[in-house]
Structure 1
Amino acid sequence: MLDLQLLPLAELRTPRLVLRRITPADAPALFALRTDAQVLTYLDREPENSLADIEALIGRIDENLASNTGVNWAVARAEDEAQLIGTCGLWRLIPEHHRGEIGYMLSPAAWGAGLMAEAAAAVCRYGFEQLKLHSIEGNVNPHNAASIRLLEQLGFVREAYFRENYYCRGQFLDSAIYSLLAPRQ
């Protein structure tokens, strides 16, 4: 079983991005992101109701770090590190199976530039190299073509398709499960 130690949180850098700790100062940008209808189209969750909900979410993100059960970074452009444009992280960490699930969202203003591919690649590297995960899962709405393209670009392969396994907004939805195995040494 893995002995996960998420604190102190590593800051991740890519050529264009900084993945840093989410702080209370990010609450307004995170609220805008988590209430944007375009962002929520395929995330199959209700929008947040208030800034207080976001502040509580940031508290849960910190609790997950402290309990070594999940890590979520603010995604920011390198030239404007204070401005959150998205989030990316690993959650549902299962130490006994050396597995975690990747999750991400990005402001529509930043779509189409390959930024989330860059962020997600850094998070996967962290998962494999630092956390020593054996596999990373991606759970997506099968209609989310952009997310599926992103996962496949990173080398994820579809390993399952669940019919009507998720209930949201008054309907049963399907889920597609993708996974990426750690590179062989």
Structure 2
Amino acid sequence: MLTINLSPVAELRTSRLSLRRLLPSDAPALLRLRSDERVMRYFDREPMTTEEQALELIRSTDELIAKNQGVMWGICLRPGTEIVGTIGPWNITAEHHRAELGYLLHPDLWGQGLMGEALDEVCRYAFEHLGMHSLEANVNPHNAASRRLLEKHGFVQEAYFRENFYHNGQFLDSVIYSRLAPR
């Protein structure tokens, strides 16, 4: 079985981004992201309404890190600035060397290649430093931008599940993408 050690959380850098551990001081920015209807349109979760909900998500992320079951980085345009998104592997299944990726970005920054930059760096870290064999992403089929992002960055569609997710009084479909570690 794969041995994962997420502590301390590594700070990752790209040419335009700094990815760092989420802090309680990020709660206001996280609330703004997770309460924005454009961000949450295909997220299939209820939007946040309070800063306490954001703090609870940060606390639960800290618990995942402590258990080596997942991490979520805050995406910053420069070190020391406010987060503009989040990304990270969670739902780590060490015995299968696999994790699920989740990500979101402020809508004002969509279409600039920033999420692709963050995605490539997180995949590199997951494969090279955590020893993952595969990463998956669960996407709402109507989220064409997310599907294009994944395909552009080496993910392939593995499955299409019909009405496998219940949210807001209706059954929704899911598309599963995956990317294997380079050989």
TM-score (norm. length: structure 2): 0.98
Aligned to 1:140: 139
Amino acid at match of 2:164: N
Aligned to 1:159: 158
Where does 1:74-93 land on structure 2 (aligned, <5 Å)? 74-78=74-78, 81-93=80-92
Aligned to 2:182: 183
Amino acid at match of 1:41: R
How many residues matched?
183
Where does 1:8-47 land on structure 2 (aligned, <5 Å)? 8-47=8-47
SS in 2 for 1:3: coil
Q: Which ranges in structure 1 are unaligned for 5 or more consecutive residues?
A: none
Q: Could you list the runs of 4 or more consecutive aligned residues of structure 1 that deviate by over 2 angstroms after TM superposition?
A: none
- Report the identity percentage: 57
Aligned to 1:131: 130
Q: Which ranges in structure 2 are unaligned for 5 or more consecutive residues?
A: none
Deviation per CA, 1:112-141, whole angstroms, max 9, x where unpaired?
A: 101000001111101100010000001100
What is the deviation of 1:170? Answer: 1.1
Cα distance in 2 for residues equivalent to 1:5 and 1:125: 16
What is the deviation of 1:17? Answer: 0.1
CA RMSD across the alignment: 0.8
Aligned to 2:50: 50
What is the deviation of 1:81? Answer: 3.2
Amino acid at match of 1:56: E
Where does 1:91-106 land on structure 2 (aligned, <5 Å)? 91-106=90-105
Cα distance in 2 for residues equivalent to 1:181 and 1:54: 32
Amino acid at match of 1:72: M
Where does 1:110-125 land on structure 2 (aligned, <5 Å)? 110-125=109-124
SS in 2 for 1:71: coil
